[in-house]
Amino acid sequence: MKIFNLKTLKDNGNIRLSVSIDSEELGSKELWFSTSEKYAYGLCKTRLDGFLVGLIFPAMQYGENIHLEGCVSNKLLFNLNHYVIPLLMTFSPSAKRIKITADETNSERFEGSGVGTGFSAGVDSFCTVFDHYVLEKNPDYKINSFLFLNVGSNGPGCTEKELTAARNKFYSRHSYLSEFPNELGLDLIPLDSNLHFFHPWGHQLTHSLTTISGALVMQNFYNKYYYASAGLLYLELFKFYEIYLNRDTAILDPILLPLLSTESLEFIPDGTQYNRLEKTIHITNYEPVRRYLNVCVGSQESHENCSVCSKCCRTLMTLDLIGKLDEYTHLFDIKKYKKKAELEYVCQQVARQHEDPFAQALVGLAKGKSIKLPSYPVSHVLIFLINFARASLPLALLSRIKTMLKLN
């Protein structure tokens, strides 16, 4: 794979930074990032660091060495060749060992003043904001900007239709999510891209790499960037690593992210000191969370929390167990959750408590507070009943079971 022809283009109020790619597997393609002219000062126009990190996983899947016709960070190139490639081979059995070469390397520091993180209004995101914007006393580590990327989290990008749909969702989410940064007087810098076209495996598999790729493209501005963890403790990363291998790069973050740092930009894997439950409890002490928390992964077009998807349920069960459900009635439809999702979700957590760290933590919290949950065998029976009789089991019967189990 050859990466070359780094160039910028003005495009209707935006600045677009792009490279050409020649690949045996993909043919000739273009990879680009674009932000509004207002934030063009952040774009790194002299090195290929961000493009390289964005393309390393696809090149390894295709078994193609990478040559950069241009300049790359000396530190990044060293760490990729010696450590990141073997690490990604451990993560993904289909990843091949490749070699990366470049026409030129340098160790230039861009001296940017930005301390950034992403902002999604979710639990992980708010935890990083609370700790390193609100509570952070060290000015060198205090967040002063948010970055909002279109590299896969807004939907897949394998076809033009998917790229357009993801782009529409990106702009609509950016507009919706800007309210909170505006309240703080901080920017939510939008960075559009077609990087997700090169990651047809889905966002979850490589989100750490695609996010870091975007942050590196903005390294003229950022000197530190917090990447919020996926909600597992350090010990849980070791204990449950098999669940995440070849599924979610979050398992690699504490090792991988520092290795993707350059002379200019330091990546900080943040949040692994808490599990998801502890994070949820922690952020309930931050008032804006009660107005902006958005955790939903439901498929509806609206941004609102659906109150029945897995992440809505996890959050609502936690808030219920700590007695704070009533404070979130305007962000979630509590009646809908209680009626349509709670019984099944609670039973699933009991049934999965030995193999799922999130379930284990929720069941542990209930036990610690002496809150009665269905027993392990009863949970399995109820899940069976719900799954196989959902269409015909009268809602009244489900409601009756809930009453019997005192889940209301």
Interface residues toward Zn ion, by CB under 5 A: 296, 298, 306, 309, 312
Which is nearer to Zn ion, 136 or 304 (by Cβ)?
304
Instruction: Report the nearest approach of Zn ion to the CB of residue 311 (Å).
Output: 6
Instruction: Report the nearest approach of Zn ion to the CB of residue 296 (Å).
Output: 3
Cβ atoms of residues 228 and 125 within 8 Å: yes
Quote the CA–CA distance of 192 and 195 in Å, as a whole number. Answer: 9
- For residue 156, give every residue at least 6 positions away whose Cβ sits within 8 Å of its Cβ, in sequence order, or none: 162, 166, 196, 200, 202, 203
Q: Name the DSSP class of 16.
A: E
Quote the CA–CA distance of 315 and 333 in Å, as a whole number. Answer: 12
Residue 287 has which token pair? 């008032």
Which is nearer to Zn ion, 233 or 296 (by Cβ)?
296
Which is nearer to Zn ion, 117 or 305 (by Cβ)?
305
Which is nearer to Zn ion, 296 or 319 (by Cβ)?
296
Instruction: Report the nearest approach of Zn ion to the CB of residue 176 (Å).
Output: 15
Which is nearer to Zn ion, 221 or 358 (by Cβ)?
358
Cβ atoms of residues 316 and 344 within 8 Å: no
Which is nearer to Zn ion, 198 or 345 (by Cβ)?
345
Instruction: Report the nearest approach of Zn ion to the CB of residue 332 (Å).
Output: 9
Quote the CA–CA distance of 304 and 364 in Å, as a whole number. Answer: 29
Nearest to 194 by CA among 182, 209, 210: 210
Nearest to 363 by CA among 378, 347, 383: 347
Instruction: Report the nearest approach of Zn ion to the CB of residue 402 (Å).
Output: 20
Instruction: Report the nearest approach of Zn ion to the CB of residue 344 (Å).
Output: 14
Cβ atoms of residues 373 and 363 within 8 Å: yes
Which is nearer to Zn ion, 217 or 296 (by Cβ)?
296
Cβ atoms of residues 282 and 276 within 8 Å: no
Instruction: Report the nearest approach of Zn ion to the CB of residue 297 (Å).
Output: 6
Task: Return the beta strands (E) in 119-263 as ranges.
Answer: 145-149, 188-193, 222-228
Instruction: Report the nearest approach of Zn ion to the CB of residue 119 (Å).
Output: 18
Quote the CA–CA distance of 346 and 350 in Å, as a whole number. Answer: 6
Residue 255 has which token pair? 């090792």
Quote the CA–CA distance of 188 and 178 in Å, as a whole number. Answer: 6
Which is nearer to Zn ion, 155 or 200 (by Cβ)?
155
Cβ atoms of residues 138 and 131 within 8 Å: no
Quote the CA–CA distance of 75 and 276 in Å, as a whole number. Answer: 33
Which is nearer to Zn ion, 135 or 297 (by Cβ)?
297
Cβ atoms of residues 165 and 155 within 8 Å: yes
Which helix H or strand E contains 86, and what residues bound it?
helix 85-91
Which helix H or strand E contains 161, and what residues bound it?
helix 160-177
Cβ atoms of residues 113 and 271 within 8 Å: no
Instruction: Report the nearest approach of Zn ion to the CB of residue 58 (Å).
Output: 31
Q: Which amino acid is at 79?
A: N
Instruction: Report the nearest approach of Zn ion to the CB of residue 123 (Å).
Output: 13
Which is nearer to Zn ion, 108 or 304 (by Cβ)?
304
